[in-house]
Each structure stands twice: as C-alpha cells, then as structure tokens.
C-alpha cells in the first residue's frame, strides 16, 4: 500500500499567523525587527529568512523549542485548512498516512484530536533540526517498512522539497502554507498544488 507522508505546520495545520505572532513577540524582546506585512516572509525560504533577519544557525534549535512551547498554549485554537479534512479522510481509505514534523508530538496529537483527525494518521515522527528533515523522512520510511517508490511526501516549504529530493521520493508542494507559490516553484517540486482536492488526482 502506498504511503503519503505529510509535513504538519502549514500543510495540515494552519499555524502560520499564530507562529508569526509568537516569533514577532520573541524578536521584539530581543530588538530584532521583522516585517509588519505577514505575507512578506512567505516569499522567502527558511535559509533566506535566517539570513534576512540575522538569526544565527546555533539559535535555530532554541527558537524552535521556544516557539513550540508557546504554540502549545494556543494549539487548541488551530484549525486545518478548508476542505483538507475531507480530502485526508478520502485518502485514508486507500493509503497509509503519516506525519514527519519539527513540531512536538503533543502539539500534533492535540491538534488532530480537536480537528477530528486523530484516527486518520498511522504514525507521527517528530524531531528538532530545521534543516535535518531528510534524515527524519528517511528514518520514517525505513522504520515503517516502505520502499522509496511507494512514498509521496507533501509539504509547504522549499526545505520539504529539498528533503524529499535528498531521500529520493516524490514531492507535492502545497501553496497554502508558509511559503508562496513563486517561492516553492524555485525548488522545482514534482507537483505544486493550490487546492487540497488536487491531492486526490495526483496520488
């Protein structure tokens, strides 16, 4: 059976605005300016954001941990994207579904339960490094007994595209998350979609 592995933030969970507010508050306390226009960061990949806002690589893990902790306080207010829930439930009937994310397992499980998706996913794999996703993806595929040709990865960032290509699996990039369509196009994904329903045709 084919396995569809999803990123979480920006792909399944609509966390962008909440995370933007959390990071804005953290940066404000440290005197770092970020744009008031929430759409602007979506035009850049993760590495570009780190360079633009002068975030040292050594601070990424700490920032991720702090952000996850703050997000946990607000995770019950997070919803999934319009029409995605019904698409996921249709996919579940034919395929195994998994999640690979840098968010915490607690946050993911709370979100899935609140959105009626707690029985849709067969596994959740979490980890910390912002740019180590290919290792987590590769590990998840091996752990759950899949061949690369049986897996499709779905994500919303150029780092997801790079991770899938490093591992050697097909990648579907979605434009409703943390990065815009033009930004994702630069990564040359196998597929780039703007509507959840397109997943049904692709797989």
Q: 1-203 — its CATH code?
A: 3.40.50.1000
Residue 63: alpha-carbon gap to chain centroid: 16
What does the alpha-carbon distance between residue 55 and residue 63 come to, in Å, rounded to a whole number? 9
What are the tens digits of pLDDT across the range 127-145?
Answer: 766 667 899 999 999 999 9
Token readout for 115 is 């959105």
Bridge-based pairing state of the strands 170-174 and 151-155 = parallel
Q: How confident is the model at residue 38 (pLDDT cuts 50, 70, 90)?
A: confident
Q: Structure tokens of 118?
A: 């707690």
The angle at the Cα of 62, spanning 108 to 132, to the nearest 5 degrees, equals 65
Entry pTM = 0.89
> Distance between CA 63 and CA 149 in Å, rounded?
35
Distance CA 161, CA 152 (A): 11
The span from the CA of 192 to the CA of 162, in Å, is 14
Over the stretch 64-83, which tens digit does the pLDDT of each residue have?
Answer: 778 888 889 999 999 999 99
CA distance linking residue 90 with residue 120, whole number of Å: 10
């Amino acid at each position: 059976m084919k396995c569809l592995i999803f990123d979480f933030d920006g792909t399944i969970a609509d966390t962008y605005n909440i995370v933007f507010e959390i990071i804005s508050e953290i940066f404000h306390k440290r005197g770092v300016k970020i744009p008031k226009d929430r759409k602007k960061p979506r035009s850049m990949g993760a590495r570009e954001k780190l360079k633009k806002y002068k975030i040292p690589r050594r601070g990424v893990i700490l920032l991720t941990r702090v952000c996850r902790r703050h997000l946990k306080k607000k995770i019950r207010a997070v919803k999934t994207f319009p029409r995605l829930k019904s698409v996921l439930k249709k996919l579940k009937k034919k395929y195994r579904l998994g999640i690979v994310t840098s968010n915490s397992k607690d946050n993911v499980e709370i979100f899935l339960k609140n959105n009626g998706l707690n029985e849709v996913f067969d596994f959740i794999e979490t980890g910390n490094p912002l740019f180590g996703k290919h290792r987590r993806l590769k590990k998840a595929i091996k752990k759950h007994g899949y061949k690369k040709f049986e897996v499709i990865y779905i994500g919303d960032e150029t780092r997801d595209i790079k991770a899938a290509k490093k591992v050697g699996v097909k990648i579907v990039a979605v434009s409703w998350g943390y990065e815009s369509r033009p930004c994702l196009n630069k990564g040359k994904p196998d597929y780039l979609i703007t509507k959840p329903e397109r997943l049904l045709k692709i797989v």
